[in-house]
Structure 1
Amino acid sequence: MDEKMLKKLAQYRVLYAEDEVGVRKNVNELLSLLFKEVYLANDGEEAYKLFLQHKPDLIITDIKMPHLSGIELTKKIRESDSKAHVIIITAYTEVDFMLEAIELSLLRYIVKPITETKLFDALEKFLQSKDKAHLQEIAVEWYYDSMQKMITHKNEIYELTKKEAKLIELLLEKDSIITYEEIEQYLWESEYMSLNALRLMIKNLRKKLPEGTLKNIQGIGYRL
């Protein structure tokens, strides 16, 4: 795992549920080096309580545990969070459990024994999924990254000012014409918005977008 991925993982919190003490201790030592926070659970019920309390970014759970299995835990989590990222740890012999797990949209399975390679592969899948979650397509191969507040096109990156990012988010959210009044209220807040200031911002923003993406609706406002 490269340095860029390690930095990304350090932003997130993980919940790890495992009833075997030795396995839990070893995996926790590794997770603690990678994540901002690690919440440990001895069984499914404790894991669910920790999930409700902390709403972690990732859940890693063993499939067979007391009180609630990994499958039952995931089902309960799905009741309130359909997009939660869940990785399940399983053994080759747990075929019945795995058949039930197919419908749960799991991020990845890790087959025991857990190795660093298997775990890192699963965590890379997690990061890829998180990256896609905050990317919105503006045009073919052009994306807005809501986490980094920037426009990306293939290998090119265009960083946005605070007002530029707010306007892009407003346009994507509304998916229709944004009036001058809305722009002033949302971007300038309590300040006065001069036409020159608006035109300068639009001019600079257009340099960071594919040609023709940001359209002026004469006398009304703008739309994508």
Structure 2
Amino acid sequence: MEDLIKQLQNYTVLCVEDEEGIRKRLVNTLKYYFKDVYEANNGEDGFDMYQEYKPSLIISDIEMPNQNGISMIEQIRENDFDTIVIMITAYSNEEYLLELINLNINQYILKPVNSDSLLSGIIKAFGNSLNEVINFSENMFFDKTQMELFYKNELVPLRKRDKEFLLLLHKNRNGVLTYDLIEEYLWRDKSMSLSALKTFIKEFRQRIPVDIITNVPQIGYKLLNL
């Protein structure tokens, strides 16, 4: 369990809760585990925070003013089915379950939330994604604890964007990592030109000892099954 908790330090979280006392307690607890913690008191602000910071995890209440949690997640899921989502719910919220069923919610935590139920829910929601090692080929693996790539047990020097690209490839391993997602997550608030992307991919391939990606013309890149 300690190793799994340590892994959370590589991730960021957005907490969306309208009751200030509850939100502050949640945020204070989350700060023990996560690299960065963002907060919002309604779905509208929560969606804006999601767009700005692209957190690894979203923890949200359901009933909130301005925009409720379901509406916020619906907006997010229009283009993003990968971000991990935990909904905080009460038994009285059962009428919302049908609305939530198609939104790929990773975990539910019942109110009142305490530190034990929060951590347990987070660990369950992350599931296998908290495994410490990602194997990209027989002799090449990425250690998420150290945030380093190894080939034949020797360190492969990489830039920060290379490492983020590897994690993004793995996150989208069952599909295609699109140009839009690459721009959104790696270039963030900057514009990504096609020439800049080609240069990055060329240099990335030069630094990686095994060719692990293939181009999907006009769409993006796909992780090879090695």
Q: Could you state the TM-score of these two structures normalised by the residue count of structure 2?
A: 0.63
Residue of 127, 138, 159 corresponding to 2:153: 159
Match of 1:109 in 2: 108
Match of 2:129 in 1: 130
Change (3 A) 1:150 1:19: same
Once residues 204 and 63 of structure 2 are traced to their aligned partners in structure 1, the CA distance between those partners, rounded to angstroms, is 54
Greater relative contact order structure (CA < 8 Å, 6+ sep): 2
Change (3 A) 1:71 1:188: closer
Cα RMSD of the aligned pairs, angstroms, is: 3.6
Tell me how far 1:187 sits from its aligned partner.
Answer: 3.1
Tell me how far 1:129 sits from its aligned partner.
Answer: 4.1
1:87–1:107 contact (8 Å) kept in structure 2: yes
Q: Could you tell me which runs of 5 or more consecutive residues in structure 1 were left unpaired when the two chains were aligned.
A: 152-157, 174-182, 190-200, 203-222
Match of 1:187 in 2: 206
1:14–1:59 contact (8 Å) kept in structure 2: yes
Q: For residues 146-180 of structure 1, what are the alpha-carbon distances to aligned partners after superposition, in whole Å with 9 as ceiling and x for unaligned?
A: 755358xxxxxx635428xx9xx8xx99xxxxxxx
Matches within 5 A, 1:8-157: 8-131=7-130, 135=134, 144-145=141-142, 147=144, 148-150=148-150
Residue type at the aligned position of 2:98? L
Tell me how far 1:130 sits from its aligned partner.
Answer: 2.4
Q: Could you tell me which runs of 5 or more consecutive residues in structure 2 were left unpaired when the two chains were aligned.
A: 174-201, 211-224
- Give the aligned length: 169
Once residues 132 and 72 of structure 2 are traced to their aligned partners in structure 1, the CA distance between those partners, rounded to angstroms, is 23
Change (3 A) 1:9 1:96: same
Change (3 A) 1:136 1:67: farther
Change (3 A) 1:186 1:52: closer
Tell me how far 1:6 sits from its aligned partner.
Answer: 2.7
1:18–1:43 contact (8 Å) kept in structure 2: yes
**Bigger radius of gyration:** 1
